[in-house]
Structures are given as C-alpha cells and as structure tokens.
Structure 1
Amino acid sequence: MSIPTRRGAPLRLPVWFAVLAGIPLAALGWLGWRLLVQERALEQQRQRERLEDAATTLAQDLDRALARWEELLPAVASGGSISLPPDVVALALDDRGIQRHLGLPLPYYPVVAVSVAVPSGLFTEAETLEFARGDVKGAEAAYRRLAATADKKVRAEALMRLARCLRKEQRPREALASYDALAEMGETAVAGAPAELVARRERIALRAQMGETAAAAQESAALAAVLSSGRYHIDRATFDFYRESAGASAAPTGASALARGVDEVWSLWRQQPTGRVSVVTDRAPVVAVWRRSPSNTAAIVGRVDTLVAASGVSKREDFLVSLEDPSGGAVWGATSVDRSSTVKTSRETGLPWTLRVAAVDAGPGEALAARRRSLLAAGFALMALVVAAASYAVFRAVNRELSIARLQNDFVATVSHEFRTPLTAMRHLTEMLEDGYAAADRVPHYYQALGKETRRLQALVESLLDFGRMEAGRRTYRMEETSATEIAQRVIDEFAGSPAVRRIEWERPSTGDTAPVCAIRADRDAMALALRNLVDNALKYSPESSAVRLSIHSHDTLIGISVEDHGFGIPRAERRDIFRKFVRGHAAKALNVKGTGLGLALVQSIVSAHGGEVLVESEPGRGSVFTIVLPAAPAVRLDTQSRRPFNVKSEVNLKSEIESEV
C-alpha cells in the first residue's frame, strides 16, 4: 500500500514516529493505571475492614441499650420502682387488661378491663315512661331521683338519660348542665366508655344543633386534649370512635405512635414468651422488648430515636448509620445508596433491624489514590488534547490542500476551455483562408474575426500572467495621479465594440463633482483591469435584458467606483470565498457561466495594493453592488456637506459589517 504525500514530503516518517512513540506511551499508561487500580483495591479492602469493625461496635452499642431495657422487665412485672427515659412506656398486662403502667401515658391500649355493668332493672320504670308511654316529664322526674343516688355508676347512667329527656323537651341549656355533671364523673363507665368522653361527645353534638359553632369547636378541642392525654384506659376502637367526633383537633402525637406500636405487637406478646421487635407506625418507628411471666407480660416500648440516642450511635460522626426493617424499609438514619456500605443482618446481631454502615468520606488513602488517578487522567487528557489538536491541524491543512487541488483542477479545465474556444475559431478561419474556400467579399470579415479572437486570447493570457506576477509579488504598479472618471470611461470604451455596451449605464459625476474631486493615485492599467473585471462579471451574471450601472461617488476623503447589476445575487455564505483564487460561486456553476475564478481575486489584489478595499452588497435574486473604495489623492480636500455620498454604506459601517461576518 502506498503512503500519500503532502507537497512532496512523505508521510511515512511521522506515521512511524507516532506508532513508535505511542506504543511505549500506551504501555506506560497501562502499567501506571494497573498500579493505581491495585492501590484502589487495597484501599477498598481496608475501608471494608474499617466498616466491618464499626458495624460490629455499633451493633454492640445498640444491643447493650436494648439489654438495659430488658433488665428492667422483672421490676415492671413485679411492681418495682424503675426510671424510664422520655418517650418510653412500661406496661404489665394480662388477658384482662393493664395491671401496671409506667412512663408516658398512652391514648389507648390493646386490651382494657371490663367494668361491671349497672343492673338494667334500675331504669325499667323510667324507660317505660319515656319510651312506652311517651311521658317524658315523668321519665325526667324518675331519672332525677336516680341521679341523686350515691352510686357513681347509677348516677352516671341516670345523668346521661336525664340529658336525653331534656333534649327531647327542647331544654338544651339544662341538658348541657346534665352533661357537665356527667363529665365531672371522669372515668366512671357509662355506655362502655368513661363518663367524661361520653359527655363531651354529646356536648359537641348539642352545641352544633344549637348553632353554636365556636362553642362546638371548643368542645372538640377539649375532647381531643382528653384523648391525647391518655387519662383513661380505653381500647383502640373506643379511641378511634371519639377521635372521629373530635375531628381535626385530634392530631396524632408521640404517645399515639407508642400506642400504635403497643397495639401492633400485642399479638406477639401473647404468642412469644420473650423477644425484641420494631414496627414502623404512621407517626414514628418504635421498638419493644417484652418477657412473659406466670402472672403477666412485662413490656417496654419506646421510640427508636430514644433508644439510638441512649446507645450513643447517633453521636458517631465518622460513619453514616441506618437501620432497616426486614422488608428493607428505612427505620432510622439514612445512608446514600451511592456509597459502599457494610450490612449486618438481624440474625448476625440479634437486633430487630438490619444495620447498614457507610463511611462519611473516602479516607486519606482513597483521597490520595483519587488524586493520583486525577493526575493521570489529566495527563492523558492533555496528551489526547494535543494529539487531537495536531490531528485537527493536519486535517485542516490536508483538507485545504485538497480543496486547492480541486480548485486548480477546475481552473485548468476552465482555462483549457477558454483557450480552446478562440483557438478553434482561429483554426477554422485559418484553414478556410489556406484552402481558398473563402469568398473574396468575406475575407476581410474573416481577418477581423481572427484579430478579435487573437486579442481575446492575448487578454486571457495577459490576465493569467498578471495574476501570476501578483501572486509572486513581482507585479509593480506605476502610481500616478489620475481620475476615477477617466478610468471608468476607459473601461466603457473597451466595451464599445461589443453588443453588451448598450446594457451599461454610465452615471457620470454631477457638475459639482469636478475631475480633481475624483482624483486618485493609481496605476491606470491595473485599476482599469480591476474595474473591467467587475463590469464583465456584472454582464455575465445578469440577464441580457437588464442594465449594469457604473457610478462614481465621493465620501469624505474616499472615492467609490460602484458596479451594480440585477442578476442572481450572492448568498451571504459565499461573499468572503468569492475573493479567493479559483473559487466560483454556486450560481456560476449552476448556470454554466464561463470564467476562470481569478477575476475577483485579481480585483482584490489590485485594490489592496492601492490601499483600498472591495465592498459587496448583495441580495439573492435581486442583484449585487461591488464598490471599489480608494483613498482620494492627498491634494484633494472635500467639503463633505456639498458632496453626494456614494451608493453604499459609510466606511465605518461597512467595515463593521465585514468584521461581524468574519
């Protein structure tokens, strides 16, 4: 396979250099990376060992905290004195209800003692009057007599029935008084619940019937406070019934979470003689320990936060610790899932949770390894950037050379065609004259055609030679003071023998613009060549029915020579490239317009040598305006107020536009 060359220089040497330099570089990088990987693996192993030790220590701290609770269970069962932290409750229960309660009061319990009911026969006479005979007055009198008895249970039942009769008689104020008396009886059971709860619930309903919304809300808040205080031993069904009556006022509390936990683990207490368990309630996770004895079951229930704080685990700042239930749900703490962690299951630790421990930071060893890896990565990135930049530069250079080569090929083909056309005509005419086939009256026309094609061929050769000299920097200019008007007239005269001269509109300077005003220092031949190229392009790239306008204007110390056509226009993306050698616009190729691609490059070179610039205004489909801007002769002083500006933007604006496009 052959190796391509760039301007004669073989690419084999840089290719082999890149290969030979890349192999040891890649090997060194691979070895260094393997070393860092091994160091990282070793550091990770050390980190795992540290986490294992920390997890074992933390599990032991939690186990000791639970063991301290378990040491209190015998005293709870026997009725001894114990000290409990906040948010912890100790209970001694049996199947009949709560035997002993220590610590935070609970709003409800899983089981409560059943109170002795009042004999139903005591209220038979009064209820017969109330319901069977409809004698509410007589029933009221009977209930008042029973409410005066000394037995609290009988009195509570009688007050409840008395208030009912008063409500039937539309005596709400007296009914409220009866409910007040009933509420003062506190925990006395009535209708299966403490008398105060029953009375407060009925007062809420009665206040609402009376339209006393604010008073009803106060009664609801009072009922909610009583429920939250844990003043009475009630079961969960009773609590939920009266909390519904209290409405939004009965917000959950920390005691509610403990009560919920006690209610959920009550079945375990009855099934298992001893154990540890953690449950997540709707309020907060709780943990419980219990032990059954022949007389009762002693249990201690507390918030997980309280236990963790007592164990000292929450004070560890060097590790992240989390507790999870058997289903994987978070109970306490939070460990980022992105960190490697050590897990201790409940079987390993004897705790009611899965313990997860992760490091807060990577540690000094891991940080050092990370810095080394970062340094290595930065070095390789820098090398990759250098290689990429070099590759891009080589690509740009090669691409530029290929583009120039393509343009040169197009140029050769175009120039060959341009040479072939006049040479073919000259050959046919010469053959006709040599063979004597030409009629005598046509011979002068043939000689005239030969002269025309000869001059055309000479102009083409001269333009190529001029451009070659300009490219090589050997073109010399004879600068002398002349008039832009004179140069423009000279170019128009050169087109005098062509039909295209009828399309040229020569807008001469106004009477006020005298010849000295349009004076410039220029090489007449070179500037005429540049202007002729612009006029020739305007004629070629515009419809034959449209005019080409040539005008000269002055602006400050500048002279502008403008050539305006109504042709196809130039897209904005091509306005810079058309001044490069061999480059032809898309319209020229699409419409098969003849040309070498050197015209505008020649114009640019000549104008730049004269200290000027070529400005372009164009809109696709509407035509173009090419303006040669040259400095006026030094002796000329212009009165800008009396001179008409040329038909382009001011120099400052035009330069800004060109810079923005670049």
Structure 2
Amino acid sequence: MPVASSWFGGPKRLLWSFALVLLLPAVAVGWLGLRLIDQDRELESRQRLERRDIAGERVVAGLERAVAATERQLRDPRSGISIQPGADALLVTMRADGLDASPTAHLLFTPDPPRAAPEPTTEFTDGEALEFNGSHARAVESYKVLARSPDETIRAGALVRIGRTLRKMGRPIEALAVYEDLSRITRSHVAGLPGDLVGRRARTALLAELDRRDQLRASARELQADLVARRWALDRGTFVSYAGQVREWTGEEPPAMAEREALSDAVDWLWQEWRRGALTSAGRVVRRHGSTDVTVLWQPGAAAGPGQGDRVVGLVAGPRFLAREWVRSLAPVGLLDVAFVNPDPQVPRAAPAAAASALRRSAADTGLPWTLILTDKPGASDLDGSSSRRRVVLAGLALIVVVVLAGAVVVARGVSHELDVARLQSDFVSAVSHEFRTPLTSLQQFTAILNEDNEPPPAKRRVFYQAQARAVSRLQHLVESLLDFGRMEAGAYPYRPEQMPVGPFVSGLVAAFRGDGTPEGFVVDCAIDTDSGDITADRDALGRAIRNLLENAVKYSGDGRRIDVRATRRGRVVAVSVRDEGLGIPHAEQQRIFTKFVRGAASRMYGINGTGIGLAMAREIVRAHGGDITVESIVASGSTFTVTLPAADTARDAIHSRGSS
C-alpha cells in the first residue's frame, strides 16, 4: 500500500490510473470504429445518389416513351385506342360538328349540349298578366287550360307557372302534385332545361321548405343518382349548380364524384380551347380541379387545316390511369417511387414525404407535363450490404466497450476492496496497538518503581502489584479475544452447550457487570419475563457476547446514564435486548459495524477505544447458536441491540451443525 501511494499519489489516483489504462484503448478503438462507420455511410450516400440519378434518368426516359406511344395512338385514327369502362380516363374527339367522349358514361356534364327548341311565349301572355296584377286564382285557371294542351312543350310551361303561382298563394301541397305531373314530361324543355329535371328539382326544393325530411332525402338521392348517371345532357354550369344543391340536401358525396368531376372539367376546358382555335399543335398539360390533378394530351388529326384543324383527339387521364398505364412500364427500374406533381407554382400542394432526400425533375427539364418527385422505395436504400457491415462494426464496438467497462468495473471493485481491507487492517493494527500500549505502559511504570533502590512500603507495594495484575489480566483478555475470534471464524472454537434458564443467566451477567465496577452514575436495569424459558448455549461464549453489548452501551453512552436489559419469549425464540440512551448509530453504519475491524464514526469523533472485533465476535457467537443479532438506533437517541436465540428444543442441534461445519 505505501508503494502504490508513492507511485500514484494515493488510492484515488491509483483507481483513476487503472481506469485510464483500460479506457483509453477503448476510446481509441471506438473513435476509429465511428470514423469507419462515417466513411462507410458517406460512401454509401454518394453511391445512393449516383444510383438514384441513373434510375431517375431511366424513369424520365421510360415515361417519355410511354407518353409518346399514347400520343402516336391519338395521332393515328387507325390505332383503335380505347378506354375500358371503369378506367380513370376519357378519350375525346373534337370536330366541327361536335364532341365525342368515350366512355360517355364517365362524363358528368356535356361541353356542347344540344340546343333546345324555342319555347312558346304568346300562349302564356294572359295568365302572366293576371299573375303580375295579383289575380293568382284567375291566373291558375288560365294556366290550367293550357296544361291540357296536346303540345307537350306548352303543357310543361303551364305546369311550371301553376306550381309557381300556387306557392305564392300559400298552397304548397297542391304545388307538390303539379310538380309531380311536370316530372313525368321527359321530351320537352322549360327555360332550356328538361321538363322532368325542372319538375323534380322544384318538388325537392318544396319538400325542403316543408321540412319533410324523409321524403326530401329520398327525392334528393334519386335526383343525385340521375345527375351522376348523366340522364340529362347538361352544360357545366347547370350541372355544378344542381349537383351542389342536391349535395346540400343529401349531406353526402357520391362515390368517385370528385374524380369524375375533375375529368369532366378537363374535357370542358379542352373543348373550349378547341372552340377558340388554341389546339393547332400537339400539347401536354396538367389541370387541377379541387384536389385532383388530371393530365391532358391532344393531337391534331391528319387532315388539320390552316388556323384550326378539323379533327383533334385528346386523352384526359386521372391519377389511377397514370399509375396503371404509364408507371407500370417503369417496373424494371424498381428502385424508386414516382410522384406526379402539378408544375403550376400557384397550385397548393403538400410536401412529399422524404422531400429532403428526394430527387426532383421539373417539367421544364424533362418536357413531361408534370414535375416528378422520385424517392427510394422502402428497403431499397441498402447498398452492397453496407448496412449489415455497419451493424457488425457497431456490434463489435459495443462488445469491446462492454468488455472494457466490465474489466474496469472488476478491477475497480478489486482495487477498492483491497484498499478497504488494507485500511481496515491498518485501523485494526492501530487500535490493537493502542489497546496493548496502555497495560504495557502501566506494567513498565510499576516495574520501574519496584526496581528502584528505595523499597516502597508493603501497603504501597501491594497496590503496585494489584495494578500490575490488572494490566496483565487486560493483556490476557485482549490476546484471548483475538485468538478466540480467529478460532470462531475458522469454525474451530470448542462450544460446550448446556441447557439453562434464561432468567438466572442474564441476571447473573448483569450482576457480574455491576460488580466489576460500573462507571459512576450508571444505572443498569434488568427485567426478565417469568416465562422466558430455557435456552441451550455455551455459557461462557454467550456471556462474552452479551457482556460486549453491555460494555459498548457504557462506552457509547455519551451523556446518557441508563442501560436497560430485557429478556422475553417470542414464540419459538428467546430475545435478550440491551438498550442505551447514548450517541446512536447512523443508519448507513448499522450493518457495517458487525464487520470485523470496522468501527463507527462516533468512535473516531469522540476518541473511544476499541479493537473493532467486539460486535463481529458477538454476531459470530450468536449465529453459532442458531440465532442472530440486530440493532435499532437513532442518532443522539440511543441504540437497542437484540440477541434472538432458539428455544432449548432447537438450540443444541443448531450449535452442533455449526460446530461441524
């Protein structure tokens, strides 16, 4: 220990030296491993970017081939291009005589609806004059005459006016019946709209005013279904107005309505562009309707004339068509996910996932109608097993760190233990030396006096001899205690058990302790339960253990001057307790004080003598008898040491088994 202190400057520096010796190589290896991982990750990142650029070019080229193939089919009338029912696309042919869309059922409204025949007006002049002047009843009678006309157009106009007038008169129930009759007229128009549509819409609106919810919901749903099924050839404005009103009545959106409305809106835009002569050359564009992007391609026909061709064929395609027809041709690429983004900067859009690592190809760079966002597919980012390699490196580094840390902990614990043992041994040697020095000093002094030339008087000489005898007795007690403790630890102490009553045994110990000269002012009280019973024990050994507790109670009493000794029966065990009102023991020390050579902080603070083996010997003796010793203490309030021993019927077996071990 002194050598280590001289080399490293003390125990703490020794521990730090061991820690540095073990940890520095681990830190160096860890740093090198992390650098290797960083370099590997950087290399993988560069390779991934190169691979993504190559794959991106393949995606752009593949999409260009797919779109160009579709445009060739549009340009060649013999190609026979067609859109299957249910597909998310429309094939549009525009000529001077009108527009054809296939499949027609996909259109919600018609960009060029047929013109309705002019409606008669002179027949309703008299009735409208009466209605305007407030003669509603006479106006109704005038309209009813016209409602019996064989001309269906006149009959439809009359029914519209009858219903309107009845509502003004506050007769909505009769108006419902009139609108019901009007909804049966399917071949005539009113104000340019089909008569049955006008009648059904007016009847549904009147049901809403009357708050007939069940009838309103049924009527609105039927009207909505016929609008979506394109029962009537309506223009865009009429359809949007009617569909919005019906949506308010039903409170729900038909399936795929937004998608079909976006396709129909794109067809309407294409038709309007054709009408104003803007489709003289091939083109590609993306149109946004609501939250849906629609791709529009068009090709002038082979017989295109100056200023405006006489035939233009276009394709209006939704997102599902793109994924099915064009992205499918990119399957060999297989490494990237493709997102089609509207290139118009004024169109709001959500940032795509993994935008920071995505590859962006603008429409201006590719010539395609969309901006392409290309991202790695899940699981496609690993390159040449680099992730597996990094995992192996990390696992190796972790193993090295764990081994080094475990070694550091083991070494630190071992060194700390050895330092603690060395310190305890040093304290023990110091304490024992002090204990031996006191009686030896007394012997030396009295021997010197007796060896003087002047012979002391007999009475004084007797006092000197008695003092020498006490010093010799103290030395003998110390030596025997050390030897006995060594034999007890080695299991070689010869216990001689005998059955004896607890009361007389404890009372005799207390009486002997008082007779040996208890310090002045101490009161040692002894209370024995009448049914405390018998124990089987070695009288001398157990007496030494309890006497040690009494001596400690005196030494650590502080200002307290009372010691209480109790002996009680607790079921199958007998308990002997020694309580003082002294200095107390901190909770952190209450288990360590039973370890050999360990002395509490109070002994050092108040200079209390001792060897540090008294409580360790007491516990060894008690446990040899099959019992145990415990302590309860509060600082500055005293301590209670309790010895528990088995009753006489089990004690002898416990002692024998302990002695044989």
Q: TM-score if structure 2 supplies the norm length?
A: 0.72
Deviation readout 1:311-332 (Å, 9 max, x if unpaired): 3629949445231415799999
Specify the alignment match of 1:646 in structure 2.
none
Task: Say whether the 8 Å CA contact 2:295–2:369 is kept in structure 1.
Answer: no
Q: Give the CA deviation at 1:612.
A: 4.5
SS at match of 2:106: coil
Sort the Cα spacing of 1:98 and 1:536 in 2 relative to 1 into closer, same or farther, 3 A.
farther
* Equivalent-residue separation in structure 2 for 1:84 and 1:200 (angstroms): 33
Give the structure 2 partner of residue 626 of structure 1.
641
Pairwise CA distance, 1:470: 3.2
- Whether the aligned pair in 2 keeps the contact of 1:490 and 1:528 (CA below 8 Å) is yes
1:30 is displaced (CA, Å) by 4.3
Per-residue deviation, 1:289:
1.8
- Corresponding residue number in structure 2 for 1:510: 530
Instruction: Report the equivalent of 1:352.
Output: 370
Name the structure 2 match of 1:322. Answer: 338
Q: Residue in 2 aligned with 1:493? A: 512
Distance in 2 between residues matched to 1:470 and 1:174, nearest whole Å: 120
Offset, 1:145: 4.0
Give 2:286's aligned residue.
Answer: 278
**How is 1:136-151 mapped onto 2 (pairs within 5 angstroms)?**
136-149=136-149
2:195 aligned partner: 195
Could you tell me how far apart the structure 2 residues matched to 1:337 and 1:577 are?
61
2:213 matched residue in structure 1: 213
Name 1:374's counterpart in structure 2: 391
Q: 1:11 to 1:69 in 2, by over 3 A?
A: closer
Q: Secondary structure at the match of 1:366?
A: coil
Per-residue deviation, residues 483-505 of structure 1 (Å, max 9, x unmatched) = 56446623542333224685322
Unaligned runs of 5+ in 2: 301-307, 451-456, 654-661
Q: How big is the shift at 1:387?
A: 1.1
Query: Amino acid of the residue matched to residue 204 of structure 1?
Result: T
Say which SS state the counterpart of residue 564 (structure 1) adopts.
strand
What SS does the corresponding residue of 1:243 show, helix, strand or coil? helix
Encode CA deviations 1:130-155: one digit per residue, 9 max, x unaligned: 121x2223212332344455665554
Measured against aligned partners, the alpha-carbon deviations of 1:273-318 in whole angstroms (never above 9, x if no partner) come to 5433335555654322234653576432222112321236299494
Secondary structure at the aligned position of 1:288 is classed as strand
Choose which of 559, 582, 594 in structure 2 pairs with 1:579. Answer: 594
Shift of 1:206: 2.3
CA distance in 1, matches of 2:212, 2:531: 104
Equivalences for residues 54-73 of structure 1 within 5 A: 54-71=55-72, 73=74
Q: Distance in 2 between matches of 1:417 and 1:476?
A: 28
Equivalent of residue 563 in structure 1, options 574, 578, 581: 578
Q: Secondary structure at the match of 1:505?
A: strand
Greater RCO structure (CA 8 Å; 6+ sep): 2
Cα distance in structure 2, aligned partners of 1:451 and 1:279: 122
1:258 to 257, 260, 271: 260
In the TM superposition, what are the counterparts of 1:60-139 in structure 2 within 5 Å?
Answer: 60-71=61-72, 73=74, 83-85=82-84, 86-92=87-93, 99-103=99-103, 104-108=105-109, 118=119, 122-132=123-133, 134-139=134-139
Deviations 1:500-553 (A, max 9, x none): 68532223363783xxx334135x1x4433222212333455575674332345
Q: Separation in 2 of the partners of 1:599 and 1:583?
A: 10
CA distance in 2, matches of 1:511, 1:364: 82
Q: Distance in 2 between matches of 1:335 and 1:53?
A: 21
Separation in 1, partners of 2:204, 2:587: 84
Contact 1:55–1:355 under 8 Å retained in 2: no
- Say if 2:548 is the partner of 1:533: yes
SS at match of 1:3: helix
4, 7, 10: which one aligns with 1:3: 7
555-564 or 177-186: bigger deviation: 555-564
> Which amino acid is the alignment partner of residue 322 of structure 1?
V
Per the TM alignment, residue 620 of structure 1 is displaced from its structure 2 partner at its CA by: 6.8
Report SS of the residue matched to 1:84.
coil
User: Partner residue of 1:384?
Assistant: 401
Question: Counterpart of 2:370 in 1: which secondary structure?
Answer: coil
- What displacement does 1:6 show? 9.2
2:296 matches 1:288:
yes
The answer on 1:400 being equivalent to 2:420 is no
Change (3 A) 1:55 1:232: farther
Residue 495 (structure 2) aligns with: 479
Task: Please report how far the alpha carbon of residue 161 of structure 1 lies from its aligned counterpart in structure 2 after TM superposition.
Answer: 0.8
Cα separation, partners in 2 of 1:467 and 1:276, compared to 1, 3 Å: farther
Rounded to whole Å, the distance in 2 between the matches of 1:113 and 1:72 is 29
C-alpha distance in 1 between matches for 2:383 and 2:203: 71
> In the alignment, which residue of structure 2 is the partner of 1:304?
319
Superposition pairs for residues 447-462 of structure 1, below 5 Å? 455=470, 459=474, 462=477
Which 10-residue stretch deviates more, 322-331 or 67-76?
322-331
User: 1:126: how far off?
Assistant: 1.6
Secondary structure in 1 matching 2:384: helix
Q: Does residue 520 of structure 1 match 2:537? A: yes
1:304 and 1:332 in contact (8 A); partners too: no
Contact 1:109 1:235 in 2 (8 A): yes
SS of structure 1 residue aligned to 2:314: strand
- Bigger drift between 451-460 and 496-505 goes to 451-460
Distance in 2, Cα, partners of 1:144 & 1:65: 63
- Cα distance in 1, alignment partners of residues 20 and 340 from structure 2: 61
- Superposed displacement of residue 102, structure 1: 2.4
Taking a change above 3 Å as real, the CA distance of residues 562 and 392 of structure 1, as seen in their structure-2 partners, is same
**Structure 2: how far apart are the matches of 1:415 and 1:97?**
125
**Which residue does 1:647 correspond to in 2?**
none
The answer on whether the counterparts of 1:243 and 1:250 sit within 8 Å (CA) in structure 2 is: no
**Is the contact between residue 228 and residue 253 of structure 1 (CA under 8 Å) also seen in structure 2?**
no
Contact 1:92–1:299, Cα closer than 8 Å, also in 2: yes
Change (3 A) 1:198 1:574: farther
Conserved? CA contact 1:422–1:456, under 8 Å = yes
Count of matched residue pairs: 615
Distance 1:620 1:359, change over 3 A: same
SS in 2 for 1:207: helix
In structure 2, C-alpha distance between the alignment counterparts of 1:583 and 1:365, rounded to whole Å: 63
1:62 and 1:313 in contact (8 A); partners too: no
Structure 1's 222 and 286: CA in aligned 2 closer, same or farther, altered over 3 A? same
CA gap of 1:474–1:49, structure 2 versus 1, over 3 A, is: closer
TM (normalized to structure 1)? 0.72
**Residues 586 and 281 from structure 1, CA distance in 2 versus in 1: closer, same or farther, beyond 3 angstroms?**
farther
Task: Give the C-alpha shift of residue 389 in structure 1.
Answer: 1.0
The answer (yes or no) to whether the contact 1:109–1:259 under 8 Å persists in 2 is no
One-letter amino acid of the structure 2 residue matched with residue 325 of structure 1: V
Over 3 Å counting, the alpha-carbon distance change for 1:108 and 1:118 in structure 2 is: same
TM-superposition CA deviations, 1:454-492 (whole Å, max 9, x none): 958974894487347735968964432455644662354
Aligned residue for 2:657? none
Q: Is the 8 A contact 1:426 1:450 kept in 2?
A: no
Which segment is superposed worse, 188-197 or 214-223?
188-197
Alpha carbon RMSD of aligned pairs, Å? 5.5
Which residue of the partner structure matches residue 629 of structure 2? 614
Deviation at 1:381, TM superposition (A): 2.0
Q: Given the superposition, is the C-alpha separation of residues 544 and 163 from structure 1 closer, same or farther in structure 2, using an over 3 Å criterion?
A: same
CA distance in structure 1 between the aligned counterparts of 2:479 and 2:135, rounded to whole angstroms:
134
From the superposition, tell whether residues 108 and 555 of structure 1 become closer, same or farther in structure 2 (CA, over 3 Å). Answer: same
For residues 44 and 392 of structure 1, the distance between their equivalents in structure 2, rounded to whole angstroms, comes to 39
Q: Which runs of 5+ in 1 are unaligned?
A: 434-439, 639-662
Relative to 1, partners in 2 of residues 1:550 and 1:228: Cα closer, same or farther, differing over 3 Å? same
1:21-64 CA-to-partner distances (Å, cap 9, x unmatched) read 949x9689949974x87777776666556555544444444444
Q: SS at the partner of 2:508? A: helix
Q: After TM superposition, give the deviation of residue 129 of structure 1 in Å.
A: 0.3
